[in-house]
Amino acid sequence: GQQLNQSPQSMFIQEGEDVSMNCTSSSIFNTWLWYKQDPGEGPVLLIALYKAGELTSNGRLTAQFGITRKDSFLNISASIPSDVGIYFCAGQLGGSQGNLIFGKGTKLSVKP
Amino acid sequence: EPEVTQTPSHQVTQMGQEVILRCVPISNHLYFYWYRQILGQKVEFLVSFYNNEISEKSEIFDDQFSVERPDGSNFTLKIRSTKLEDSAMYFCASKQGTTETQYFGPGTRLLVL
């Protein structure tokens, strides 16, 4: 099946540091989404990207849809303790009914 | 803000039993999905549903699984005869239109003993 390679798998950072994570695939996606998941809860949408090259911000979060449509990155600036959680990228293939393919997640830990 | 709701939040069942997981999608949404997440793993697509029929399903969604929209608000996932490996979090999601993004419910944690 389709695969999204998400990296890094985990990150341990100091409060105030910037964070960067990315997803790559051999397939072309027409939508890239970034979700955050807290333990025992459902994924919460952070940023949605619909066009190749699109750069979108949501507060301290910035994400980009790669020009090749095969990758995306998420940056978090000036991290705070509540940024702790697992971040998932998800892509939607063209022609699909919208089912999302998820990356394996990046577990973020922030030290105060 | 409207949200997707799911019940129950937790379900424990014996192997071989039938379970029904319930979801109430956001009211003006037209596309509905079920995903599952085995503990510590990524979220996996199970099935999509539109216009009262399944539009796409994954290999995971075998004959033991079925979905239904019994009325104008509920969307259910039934597992006919549960197996140990069905233990997972099950997430319902919905979206309004073809280009919209999906919103996820809080999940039902299913434990099969």
pLDDT digits (tens, 9 = 90+) for B1-58: 779 999 999 999 999 999 999 999 999 899 999 999 999 889 999 999 999 999 999 9
When pLDDT is averaged across residues B57-86 and rounded to a whole number, the result is: 94
Report chain B residues whose CB lies below 8 A from the CB of A101.
Answer: 45
Option in A33, A35, A101 nearest B45 (CB): A101
| Separation between Cα atoms, residue B85 and residue B80, nearest integer Å | 14
Confidence (pLDDT) at A1: 60
pLDDT band at A52 (very low <50, low <70, confident <90, very high): very high
Percent of chain A scored above 70 by pLDDT? 96
- B18 CA to chain A: closest CA distance, Å? 23
Unique residue bearing structure tokens 């449509």: A69
B99 touches A at CB < 8 Å: yes
Give the 3-state secondary structure percentages of chain A, helix then strand then coil, rounded to 5.
5, 55, 40
* Token reading at B26: 């956001």
Contacts 24+ apart (CB under 8 A), B40-43: B41/A104, B42/A88, B42/A102, B42/A103, B42/A104, B42/A105, B43/A43, B43/A88, B43/A90, B43/A100, B43/A102, B43/B91
pLDDT digits (tens, 9 = 90+) for A62-100: 999 999 999 999 999 999 999 999 999 999 887 667 789
User: Which uninterrupted H or E stretch holds A33?
Assistant: strand A29-37
- Would the CB atoms of B42 and A50 count as touching at under 8 Å? no
